[in-house]
Amino acid sequence: MSEPAAPPFAAVEELAAGEPVAVGSAGPAGIPGRATSERVQRFVAYTAMFAIALLFFVPFLWSLSTSLKPLPETANFSLLPHTWTIAGYRAALLDYNFERYMANSAILAATVTFTSVLLAALGGYAFARLRFPGRDVLFFLVLGTLMIPDQLRLVPIYRMLTIFPVTHWNLVDTYQGYWAIRMVSATALFLMRQYFLTIPRDLEEAAKLDGAGYFKTFRRVMLPLAGPALAAVAILEFQGTWNDFFWANLLLQSPQHWTAQVGLAQFTFTYRTQWNDLMAGTMVALAPVVIVYLFFQRYFVAGVASAGVKG
């Protein structure tokens, strides 16, 4: 099936810059008399999808409406507030240092996402395509790290960060310490590896024929094709860091270092959860994650076509 390939870089760059292409079958088309039943099918399908989408959404509509209620009213279960008020938002944003918390979350999430994407791509490519002794053992080690619960790592990591080996830095309550332990995640590396495994080899081999070294191949061939996976990693890591509570609570204790989640925890007490403030804060904290998600999800376009098709 493969015909002599066009110069790979040009083709790939063209493709990567191109329009979103729908992948997946469209079904038999152009048969007369099918038009109406297809229309009905599609209407049913869309309705079902919309119903599911609504199901996924409704709980958050409740959060939104709770954030607009005064505290005494949060006790009843009505969907719409009786008295509309932004007192919750005012309290969350003004009485508490919420912009600071959001800024902290943003700094940490951005740095962690950046290094994660970079290191996971590099590492994933190596595990998928390069050969080096002990590769599979190391990969299983990486998988193994996923199986360790955070609670077990609590004490050793905290102790390590108070006096970091060799350099004796005190990294507790610093951005650097937090970033260091989350610099790259095994999940991201795993994801990139699996993704790179599915990319057909012809492109790399063509690049090799052209005399490209490993980095050039990686940078010019694999990376542009990895759009969807990189986007997935970016979304995952951003959101994972943004929503993380355990390590932020442990490692970022001074109020000026608090992240959004730690700040939100101020509204949750054993008996007196201030629902309206909590939901208002949650809505505000949710916004950046939504924005990042919507931004990155447009990279979910088919990035790979066989080298033989174009050119």
Partner 1 sequence: MAIAVPKRRLFGRTKRPGAAREALVGYGFVFVPMAVFLLFFIYPMGYAVYISRFDWGILGPLNSLGWKNYSSLWHDTLFRRSIKNTLEYTVWVVPAQMALGLLLAVVVNQKIRARTFFRGAFYFPSLASSAAIAAIAIYLLNVDGLFNKVFGLHKIWFYDTKTALPTIAGLNAWTTSGTMMLFYLASLQAIPTDVYEAAAIDGAGPWRTFWKITFPLLKPGHFFVAVVSIIGAMKIFDQVYIISRGTGGPDYATYTVVLDIFNTAIKDAQLGLAAAMGVVLFVVIFALTILQWAFFGRQEAA
Partner 2 sequence: MKGLPAFLLASLVGIVLIAGAQARVAGPERATTAKKTTVTLTGWASSAAETAALRTTIAGFERSHPKYTVNYAPINGDYPAAMLAKFAARRPPDVFYVDSNVAPDWMSQGVLAPLDKLIKQHHFNTKPFFPRLLSAFKYKGQIYGFPKDWSPLAMETNNAMLAKAGVKPPKTWAQLRSVAQKLKDSDAVPGGAPLCIDPDWARMLAFVYQNKGSFLNAKKTAPTVKSAAVRGAINYYYGFQQAGLSGTHDKLGVGWCGEALGKEKAAIIFEGNWVVGYMSDTFPGVKYTISPLPKGKVNGNLGFTVSYSIGQNTKNKQAAWTLLSYLVGKQGMHLWTQQGIALPSRSDVKVPSGRSAFLKQAGYAHPWQFAPRFSKVIDTANNELQSFFAGKESLDDMLNKIDSAARDALG
Residues in contact with partner 2 by CB under 8 A are: 71-72, 74-75, 95, 118, 122, 151, 154-155, 158-159, 162, 167, 169-174, 176-177, 180, 213, 215-216, 218-219, 245-246, 249-250, 253-255, 258, 262-263, 265-266, 268-272, 274
Residue 191 binds what, of partner 2, partner 1, none (CB under 5 to 8 Å, by partner type)? Answer: partner 1
CB of 148 vs partner 1, minimal distance in Å: 5
Residue 127 binds what, of partner 1, partner 2, none (CB under 5 to 8 Å, by partner type)? Answer: partner 1
Cβ proximity to partner 2: between 265 and 304 the closer is: 265
Cβ proximity to partner 2: between 132 and 269 the closer is: 269
Q: What is d(CA 37, CA 158) in angstroms, rounded to the nearest whole number?
A: 63
DSSP-derived letter for residue 174 is: S
Residue 216 binds what, of partner 2, partner 1, none (CB under 5 to 8 Å, by partner type)? Answer: partner 2
CA distances from 194 to 188, 225, 290 (A): 10, 13, 26
Handedness of CA 202, 197, 21, 291 (dihedral sign): negative
Terminus-to-terminus CA distance in the chain, angstroms? 15
Identify the helix (H) or strand (E) that includes residue 258: none
Residue 71 binds what, of partner 1, partner 2, none (CB under 5 to 8 Å, by partner type)? Answer: partner 2
With H, G, I as helix, E, B as strand and everything else as coil, classify residue 229. Answer: helix
In the structure encoding, which two tokens stand for residue 227, read together?
A: 């759009």
Cβ proximity to partner 2: between 5 and 258 the closer is: 258
Q: What is d(CA 252, CA 255) in angstroms, rounded to the nearest whole number?
A: 8
Cβ proximity to partner 2: between 38 and 210 the closer is: 210
Contact 172, 189 (CB under 8 A): no
